[in-house]
Amino acid sequence: MYSREMFIKYINLDDQNRILISVQNHFEDKLKEANTKTEIKKIMTEVLGDNLEKLEIGKNVLRVTVTENPDESILKINAYIDQMLQMAAQFMDSMGKETNDK
């Protein structure tokens, strides 16, 4: 139902070992909102813990600087995204069942 590609263009490392998370263009306006930036910072802190050094939010790219093991951090970010997509799919599935039961 939901795929990563609906939200994320790519996740990789740049030449400075920062994690780049590029979101689809239709999220550009959302990334400008203060509450979205606050929520992203909260999530990155939750996922990466003390390893999060710096978070920069651009037009449609998040630049995440970690203190160590950027490859491991990418795995953690990917796992979190997969978990959220799975939860969204389960939620939508249960909403569909409730609608069909009526």
CATH of the domain at 48: 3.30.1360.40
pTM for this model (two decimals): 0.85
**CA torsion angle for 82, 87, 90, 91 (degrees, to 10)?**
-140
Could you tell me the pLDDT band of residue 25, with boundaries at 50, 70 and 90?
A: very high
pLDDT attached to residue 13:
97
Asked if residue 38 is part of any domain, the answer here is yes
Could you tell me the pLDDT band of residue 1, with boundaries at 50, 70 and 90?
A: low
Asked if residue 62 is part of any domain, the answer here is yes
For the cut 60, the answer to whether the pLDDT of residue 65 exceeds it is yes
Q: Name the more confident of 70 and 6.
A: 70
C-beta atoms surrounding 22 within 10 Å:
16
C-beta atoms surrounding 94 within 10 Å:
10
Asked if residue 101 is part of any domain, the answer here is no
In terms of residue numbers, what domain contains 8? 4-95
User: Which tens digits make up the pLDDT trace of 9-20?
Assistant: 999 999 999 999
Residues 81, 4 contacting (CB under 8 angstroms): yes
Q: How many domains does the chain have?
A: 1
Share of the chain above pLDDT 70, in %: 91
